[in-house]
Amino acid sequence: MAIASSGAVSFSDLRTEFVGGSAAISYSDLYRGGSNIRTKAANNTGVNLAASVPTSGTINMTNFRSTAKAFRFTYTSGATNQNAATLFGDDYAVNYPKEIVIDSGVELGATSTSEEALELPSGGVGAITVTNNGTLSGAGGAAGQDGGDAFETAVAVAVVNNGVIRAGGGGGGDGGMGSYESITWYAYSYSYNSWLVRTSDTTVEYLNVRQFRLNGYYPTLTSYGVWRRGTYYGWNGIFHQYQIGQASTVYSNGGVGGVGQGYNQAAGTGASGFNNAGDGGDGGSFGQPGTSGANGNVLSGEVRGVAGNYIRGFSLLSSFSGSGSVQGSTA
């Protein structure tokens, strides 16, 4: 607890905040730069909460008003893919209290599912506290992919959440492949009594409807008339003219799934599938899975992506408190 800004301050208060234990202390134990009150490393971008304590010379109770034993970094504006080791530099590995505060109205976000809005990597030493008064947002998943995590820790940490910690939504699955039959029309047949297929000016082949279909050809009546002597090989009689088509199967991909909701990204709607292909599934909102893609008449739709975690490394939390909300799960 920080030293009071006014009123009485005792050596007992200073011992509790900066030294610990119950043994007697003196002012010489409390110079900044010693083992009890540290100076800040050059690459530590936080604030020393005991910066008013002198490193030598005259020292008195006034120097300790509103001080505390900690380095603190405060987010007053938005940022992405933040790493606590970078914030505190060499002091991250020093056994000294460290605090991270996200102000109200400030959002930290992850720009990909391989990143987190805020990460506490291994190597951190000393009591670490994260107080979130703003928003931590994970990245949304691509089509069929899982959403990203909002916060990850590999070290012990106390979290006070008065804002929102929300995992990225899962992406919707792609729709299943579809197919349809296409007929390419390219020739004619002529019939008299039985099926006659005129394949050239000098060749006539006799086939029946069954043979047409077995070979992938589909005859369709286009006209009929009188077959005159001297024309079409000299027969008299009634002819029927057929157009001949060759059947083939055409495949079409399913609709692409929508992206999951994430930092600076709205949940996407799955695209429609055509020609018997399935529609893509919709992306999930923060902390929610997407929907699977619809089946096509050839293949089933792809599986949806699940939401990320609002905290990864939850078992390492020394405490989790506050009046805020969370979206997603833990790991």
Percentage of the chain modeled with pLDDT above 70: 80
Tokens in use for 23? Answer: 């043994």
Question: What residues contact 53, with CB distance under 8 A and at least 6 apart?
Answer: 30, 31, 32, 37, 59, 63, 64, 67
User: CA-based angle 115:121:126, to the nearest 5?
Assistant: 145
What amino acid occupies position 192?
A: Y
308 or 193: whose pLDDT is higher?
Answer: 308
Tokens in use for 70? Answer: 């900690």
With 0.85 as the threshold, say if the pTM is over it: no
- Gap between the Cα atoms of 160 and 134, Å rounded: 11
96 or 235: whose pLDDT is higher?
Answer: 96
Query: Which DSSP category does 124 fall into?
Result: -
Question: What pLDDT is stored for residue 217 in this prediction?
Answer: 53
Instruction: Break the chain into its structural domains and give their ranges.
Output: 1-42+49-68, 70-173+259-270+281-331, 179-252
pLDDT tens for each residue of 187-214: 444 444 344 444 444 444 444 444 444 4
Q: pLDDT at residue 60 above 70? A: yes
Structural contact between residues 283 and 259, judged by C-beta atoms closer than 8 angstroms: yes
Question: What pLDDT is stored for residue 202 in this prediction?
Answer: 41
Q: How confident is the model at residue 254 (pLDDT cuts 50, 70, 90)?
A: very high
Half-sphere exposure of 154 (CA within 13 A, CB side): 11
Q: What is the mean pLDDT of the chain?
A: 86
- Gap between the Cα atoms of 152 and 303, Å rounded: 26
